[in-house]
């Protein structure tokens, strides 16, 4: 069984081994593969694994022995699943592997916003504390979370994990979902999208990117937010109309934003959020703790095992 990994560097930059995948056959791992090279690189593959490298219909047609495509992530919009289905090739993804890690980053943002930990540490290292007449300083911008309102947009596994942490902090939690009747969520109040944006002190996005959610966070929705409110996005970059968010930050319509994802990654230097004030941006790291990546690798191996046993799991096509 010939196995090809198109873009192994992101999942495993060298701090893990590929033995769970190697167990199934001859493994070739490429750090990165341009879209136009996929068919050539993987021409002898029986099993093809990809994280973000695009697998087009044309590429699939160039791999005659291809039997299985594994998405080394949850989102699978980089794979032409229709073309794969026409060939009878299952495409399997890895849901749920990064729940704890993504929730952790969302809360790292909230805690940074409420205590400004890095800037305060920088202040101390500059000598500001040493030159103070009192034992402490800088009270004005500190915020206690208890009693504040967190708005969660989308209440899947990650959204629910973020909400549960908020409840532990003594926060009020409101959420917007398509069908509230599907949820049993003590301590969480379901509200409309507009009410969520107009009421919450912190809004955290945790919904999938679809035609109906693309750029849903636009000028109209941002205008509903309180001037003291913050927007957090660890979900999909294209949920936000980035120019509108940059304008809202520049005009002080909202207090700030913290985002781990952008509409195009890596971002072009002209992305308006790169120069927007009070905007924390991290380079799509929420999913990538070593523990999370190890789960991703292990579940990917289990997906292959299930396929080879004739009972494929996590099939998306």
Q: In the annotation, is 112 catalytic?
A: no
The catalytically annotated residue of 206, 236, 293, 295 is 236
| CA–CA dist 270, 283 (Å, integer) | 16
Kindly report whether the peptide bond that precedes residue 249 is cis, defined as omega within 30 degrees of 0: no
Q: In the annotation, is 206 catalytic?
A: no
Neighbours of 28 (CB within 10 A): 14
The catalytically annotated residue of 32, 126, 265, 291 is 265
| CA–CA dist 10, 22 (Å, integer) | 18
| CA–CA dist 243, 5 (Å, integer) | 36
Decide if 29 contacts 18 (C-beta within 8 A): yes
The residues near 64 (Cβ < 8 Å, ≥ 6 apart) are 43
3-state secondary structure of 149: strand
Decide if 178 contacts 210 (C-beta within 8 A): no
Q: In the annotation, is 284 catalytic?
A: yes
Strand-pairing partners, residue 5, are 29, 49
The catalytically annotated residue of 120, 284, 294, 305 is 284
Q: Where are the alpha helices (DSSP H) in the chain?
A: 8-11, 19-22, 38-41, 57-61, 81-86, 99-115, 117-125, 157-168, 193-199, 219-222, 242-250, 290-308
Q: Which residue has the tokens 């908020």?
A: 166
Query: Among 7, 46, 3, 9, which residue's Cα sits nearest to residue 28?
Result: 3
| CA–CA dist 232, 163 (Å, integer) | 13
| CA–CA dist 135, 69 (Å, integer) | 60
**Catalytic machinery residues:** 236, 265, 284
């Amino acid at each position: 069984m010939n196995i090809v990994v198109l873009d192994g560097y992101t999942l495993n930059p060298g701090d893990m081994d590929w033995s769970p995948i190697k167990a199934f056959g001859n493994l070739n791992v490429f750090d990165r593969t341009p879209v136009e090279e996929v068919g050539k690189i993987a021409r002898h593959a029986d099993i093809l694994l990809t994280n973000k490298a695009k697998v087009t219909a044309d590429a699939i047609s160039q791999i005659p022995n291809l039997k299985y495509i594994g998405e080394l992530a949850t989102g699978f919009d980089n794979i032409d699943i229709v073309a794969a289905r026409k060939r009878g090739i299952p495409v399997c993804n890895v849901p749920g592997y990064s729940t704890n890690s993504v929730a952790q980053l969302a809360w790292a943002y909230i805690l940074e916003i409420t205590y400004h930990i890095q800037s305060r540490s920088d202040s101390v290292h500059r000598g500001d504390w040493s030159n103070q007449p009192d034992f402490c300083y800088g009270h004005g911008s500190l915020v206690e979370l208890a009693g504040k309102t967190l708005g969660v947009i989308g209440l899947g596994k990650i959204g629910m994990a973020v909400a549960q942490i908020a409840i532990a902090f003594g926060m009020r939690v409101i959420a917007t979902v398509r069908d509230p009747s599907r949820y049993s969520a003590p301590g969480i109040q379901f509200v409309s999208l507009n009410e969520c944006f107009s009421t919450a002190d912190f809004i955290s996005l945790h919904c999938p990117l679809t035609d109906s959610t693309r750029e849903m966070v636009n000028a109209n929705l941002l205008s509903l937010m309180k001037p003291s409110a913050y927007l957090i996005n660890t979900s999909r970059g294209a949920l936000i109309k980035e120019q509108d968010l940059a304008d809202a930050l520049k005009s002080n319509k909202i207090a700030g934003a913290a985002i781990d994802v952008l509409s195009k990654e890596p971002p072009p230097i002209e992305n308006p959020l790169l120069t927007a004030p009070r905007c924390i941006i991290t380079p799509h790291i929420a999913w990538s703790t070593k523990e999370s990546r190890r789960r991703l690798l292990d579940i990917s191996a289990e997906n292959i095992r299930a396929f080879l046993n004739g009972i494929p799991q996590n099939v998306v096509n």
